[in-house]
Chains A and B, each alone.
Chain A
Amino acid sequence: MWSRIAFVARRAWNNLRELFWTHFLTAVAMTMTLFVFGAFMLLQENLQNLLKGWGDQIQINAYLEKNLDTAEVQNLWQRIRSLAEVQEVRYISSAQAWKDFQGALGAQSGVLEGLPKDVLPASFEITIKPAFRDSPLVAGLAARLKKEKGITVVEYPQEWVQRLSLVVLAVRWAKWILGGALFMVTFFIVGSAVKLALLARKDEIEMMQLFGASKQLIQAPFVVEGMTQGIVGGLLSILCLWLLFQSLREVIPSGGLVGPLAQFEFLDLRSAGVILAIGLFLGGAGSLFSLQRFIKTWRS
């Protein structure tokens, strides 16, 4: 068993060394493909994080009628608090709203002079439980709140969340469509590299067959070569992505409108593992595909 493993490793190493440039260029092609795929993955993950961040801040503002007494407000608070989707309900009185508004205007608060202090309606700030932060569920809850007696207007940042969800969906699809097309191309590039290695070793393979080498022993070194290319391509692509990520972080200023972008995070271990696994699969499958075709052609 160990002697066979050692034999396969030795042959794969010799093949990689003897056809170094062919294998190197194939690994570069693999790197480019996995880099594009990884870039989409990075974008998607960060958009999802952004969406999740926004989702955490999702709250519904329910504005109340002006003439509600304390008991009615208390009843309404309890009814809303008891809803399954609701995590927290905070009552903002008309006076508190006025104070908050003044604070938000800061130096320009003078514009409010002359206005009655109860011009702003009292409201509930409703925080939603994480499990119910999907757009349709939020919209459903908002519609139900609108029907509550004593509530006049219900507001929530629905449109932005929906738009960003669409962007994430588009990125996810683009990742698989573009990535899939590139995977196909890489698959054939790997196959061609293995075919060159096979042609260079045709006499050796023929002799091995005549000596009684098993099909697996003949094929294994070429599959190992393909998988090595995949691993190297995967690691290089992750390195390139990290360099891109670092340079973007330096360029993007923190704070302001693009503030959330400055909180971009690099791929987690799972995503890096996915890139490596795809590289391994492409390398191994491309080699096997080429081997099957080559041996079939050769036998015929």
Chain B
Amino acid sequence: MIQLLHVSKRYPPNLQALTDICLKIHQGEFVFITGPSGAGKTTLLKLLFRGEEPSEGEILLNGQNVNRLNSRGVARLRRGIGLVFQEFKLLPRLTALENVALAAEVVGTSKRESCIRAYHLLRELGLKEKCDAKPLMLSGGEQQRVAIARALVNNPLLVLADEPTGNLDAQVSDETMRLFLRIREHGTTIMIASHDGSLIQRYGTRVVSLQAGCLAADLHRVKKQEGAR
């Protein structure tokens, strides 16, 4: 379970990115964080994987205070979180398979086991034929699926996706969303920062809305999710 208790974030000299955010997210929830550009969506996600530290308040992940972790603790925390970015952030020197396997290798999995896991994931995501392709040889949708496979390779309990469909067309965005819903079926918590209204309308089960760094709304919409499935 994720808990944000009166969390604020200020960037020097005086940019207030988030103000007094209180949120509780249960395991297996599918949550959209939405709001206009500069509302604080990315900052909120960054706080969860300790990409940033809050100026005030506390963040608890399964009862663990994220702010108080040392560098070793942060590394451990991140092993349980899968990250997906708008610009994919795949390493151009590596193949699709190597990109995915690297995420497993760095947490101590053997190269062989990492490659096996990466291959199975890529096959599951329909990229079996693209394992040896370098990112530049892949389409945007394919690159994003590789990035999602990379986020899943360590079986995370939480997936944080920052505008994962921002660089994709409508059809590929739909496929990506369905993929996230499938992942969620395994009990993984999914948090997606997005300002794509139509996607949120179709897939949003819970929508947390931010306005100028403040929590503007927190809507639970069970029916929409069922409809999307």
Contacts and interface: CB of A to CB of B under 8 A. Distances in A.
Interface string B68-95: 0001100111111101000001010100
Q: How large is the interface on A (under 10, 10 to 19, 20 to 34, 35 or more residues)?
A: 10 to 19
A213 B77 CA distance: 10
B111 interface: yes
Given A213-B75, A214-B75, A215-B75, A208 B106 contact: yes
Nearest to A218: B106
B105 interface: yes
Nearest to B151: A211
A10 B110 CA distance: 12
Contact of B108 (A4, A204, A208, A215): A4
B32 interface: no
A203 interface: yes
Contacts of A207: 89, 91, 102-103
Interface in B36-80: 49, 51, 71-72, 75-80
Q: How large is the interface on B (under 10, 10 to 19, 20 to 34, 35 or more residues)?
A: 20 to 34
Contacts of B79: 211-212
Interface in B91-150: 91, 93, 102-103, 105-111
A112 B107 CA distance: 93
A3 interface: yes
Interface in A160-203: 203
B176 interface: no
A251 interface: no
Given A3-B108, A4-B108, A6-B111, A212 B91 contact: no
Main secondary structure of the interface of A (DSSP, over half): helix
Nearest to B113: A3
Interface-central residue, A10, A208, A211, by most chain B CB under 10 Å? A211
Contact of B78 (A7, A10, A211, A217): A211
B205 interface: no
Interface in A1-58: 2-4, 6-7, 10
Given A207-B102, A215-B71, A7 B111 contact: yes
A209 B103 CA distance: 10
A7 B98 CA distance: 13
Contact of B105 (A2, A3, A203): A3
A6 B154 CA distance: 19
A210 B154 CA distance: 12
Nearest to B77: A212
Contact of B91 (A6, A204, A209): A204
Contacts of A208: 102, 106
Contacts of A211: 78-79, 83, 102-103, 106-107, 154
26 contacts: A2-B110, A3-B108, A3-B111, A4-B108, A6-B110, A7-B105, A7-B106, A10-B111, A204-B91, A204-B93, A207-B89, A207-B91, A207-B102, A208-B102, A208-B106, A209-B78, A210-B49, A210-B51, A210-B83, A211-B83, A211-B107, A212-B78, A213-B106, A213-B107, A215-B72, A215-B75
Interface of B: 49, 51, 71-72, 75-81, 83, 89, 91, 93, 102-103, 105-111, 154
Interface of A: 2-4, 6-7, 10, 203-204, 207-215, 217
Closest 4 CB pairs of A and B: A212-B78, A212-B79, A213-B106, A3-B110
